[in-house]
Amino acid sequence: MDIRQLQQIDETTWKYGPTDSMHVPVILYAERALIESMDQKVLEQASNVAVLPGVVDAVYVMPDGHWGYGFPIGGVAAFDPDRDGVVSAGGVGFDISCGVRTLTTGLRLDDLEGRRERLADALFAHIPAGVGSRGQIRLDDEEMDAMLRGGAQWAVDMGWGEPADLAHIEERGRMEGARPDYISARAKERQRREMGTLGSGNHYLEVQVVDVVYETRIAERFGLHEGDVVVSIHSGSRGLGHQIGTEALAEMLLAAKAYGIQLPDRELACAPIASETGQRYLGAMRAAINCALANRQILTHLTREVFADQFPQARMELVYDVSHNTCKEEPHTVDGEQRRLYVHRKGATRAFAPGHPDIPSEYRDLGQPVLIGGTMGTASYVLAGCAGNERRSLSSACHGAGRAMSRRQATRQWKGSALIRELESEGVYVRSPSARGVAEEAPGAYKDVHAVVESAERAGLARKVARMRPVVCIKG
């Protein structure tokens, strides 16, 4: 990115605009090296978002920002329904409610000595992964609608989890306002056999060890200590979410034209929040959030089954589950006035500050856990939301390392089989149904996750609590 276009506010804050066509400025958070490495398309896309009706405050780009469909990945934007605000499927993404959950195990790294390979094999055998993967669960029409309304609560009621899990899931495991009747038969059919599956792309299940603790008091309350073994699961709403996004974009192109909305980019197709198209998308999207929450809950149950067999002493408790592809109605103060806004976070994580009522009670004085997924060979992080980040970023933070090159470029540079051998020599056992998929997700294809997290902390978005490195990775 050409930083000469930007006004540098401080070490990690950069501003662009607003130009004549933009309603609000673009604010980017990252240190200089990360800003310079971002593709120019990030600024172009964020500036286009700032043109849409009803956008307020600013369009924010997180330190892991990179080019996406319509909105940049790592983009945050809020729209006011009382000022002709819109909702855009491109501002949520195709993998609706893709997110991360992290569990403690009660195990220490020494407990895995000589058993990592066997654990990797057992997890890979028990948890379906890869493109079009199917699980043992098959939902009929009634069960499908119950899942889409109930989310993780439905999964727990069905026996896939524990009631205590729900307190540590965003929205307590169930998104209100879901409308399964707004979802097409095609979208539901795609999901019928995909519950309890990881999927492909950057989705994973990792066994990790906590190797650094930065904030001892917070880490202990989260149940994290150096040398602990934890499990992180990264997955989303699978085929259902993708189909909802695909269909909504086509409908929103027509709606935008009907409402006289001038789109700077067709990929920013949108509809007024209050319109029938807007409400139908929101109802379907909320149901997809429930699908993702239910899916991660079932994956947790399957993981617990493997650990119970391999390590009977394991006690797996949920730290937190948070999504990073959503649009949610939230109260925020803008220009001294509290408003109900529709906050799009695409490749960005909600990061409420200490004291927020939506944080689980036992974490409320600490800030919301923010789970940052890393890459197969580097590290993941647990952060906590910072005081003042509502003003800085609408209570948002980064979500991962962020891609530095396309999947096609990655497959030209790495071979999956060689990468698996290399990682195993470093103590990371990777299992995947696709060698090409492993190459696409090579650690070198991503930004430096340490630099991304450092920028997020220095910008006051979230603070570092603990770092984890992988020892087993089940890759879709």
In the set 324, 332, 344, 399, the catalytic residue is 399
Q: Is 399 considered catalytic here?
A: yes
Residue 409 has phi, psi (to 5 degrees) of: -60, -40
Average pLDDT over residues 245-251: 97
Average pLDDT over residues 230-240: 96
- What percent of the chain clears pLDDT 90, i.e. is strictly above it? 94
Q: Which residues pair with 328 in a beta bridge?
A: 343
What was the pLDDT predicted at 135?
Answer: 75
Torsional sign, CA 407, 265, 188, 237? positive
Average pLDDT over residues 459-470: 98
Average confidence score pLDDT of the chain: 96
**For residue 132, is pLDDT > 90?**
no
**For residue 476, is pLDDT > 90?**
no
Helix, strand, coil content of the chain in percent (nearest 5): 40, 25, 35
The overall pTM is greater than 0.85: yes
Residue 269 has phi, psi (to 5 degrees) of: -50, 135
Please report which confidence band the pLDDT of residue 375 belongs to, taking 50, 70 and 90 as the band edges: confident
What does DSSP assign to residue 169? Answer: B
Please report which confidence band the pLDDT of residue 186 belongs to, taking 50, 70 and 90 as the band edges: very high
What was the pLDDT predicted at 380?
Answer: 97
pLDDT per residue over 321-350, tens digit each?
A: 999 999 999 999 998 999 999 999 999 999
**For residue 438, is pLDDT > 90?**
yes
**For residue 136, is pLDDT > 90?**
no
The answer to whether residues 395 and 357 touch, using CB atoms and an 8 Å cutoff, is: no
pLDDT per residue over 201-218, tens digit each?
A: 889 999 999 999 999 999
Average pLDDT over residues 190-196: 94
Rounded-to-integer distance, Cα 41 and Cα 47, Å: 10
What does DSSP assign to residue 49? Answer: H
pLDDT per residue over 55-105, tens digit each?
A: 999 999 999 999 999 999 999 999 999 999 999 999 999 999 999 999 999
**CATH number of 201's domain:** 3.90.1860.10
Classify residue 313 by burial, with Cβ atoms within 10 Å: 0-12, 13-18, 19+: exposed
What was the pLDDT predicted at 337?
Answer: 93
User: Cis bond leading into 18, ω under 30°?
Assistant: yes
Average pLDDT over residues 289-298: 98
What was the pLDDT predicted at 167?
Answer: 97
What was the pLDDT predicted at 200?
Answer: 86
What was the pLDDT predicted at 131?
Answer: 74
What was the pLDDT predicted at 250?
Answer: 97
**For residue 133, is pLDDT > 80?**
no
* Number of structural domains in the chain: 1
What was the pLDDT predicted at 176?
Answer: 98
Q: Which domain holds residue 85?
A: 3-475
Q: Tokens 């090579």 belong to which residue? A: 442
Cα–Cα–Cα angle for 67, 346, 231, rounded to 5 degrees: 105
**For residue 134, is pLDDT > 90?**
no
Q: How many CB atoms lie within 10 A of CB 162?
A: 15
The torsion of the CA quartet 226, 228, 229, 231, rounded to 10 degrees, works out to -80
**For residue 382, is pLDDT > 80?**
yes
Q: How many CB atoms lie within 10 A of CB 58?
A: 26
Rounded-to-integer distance, Cα 69 and Cα 83, Å: 25
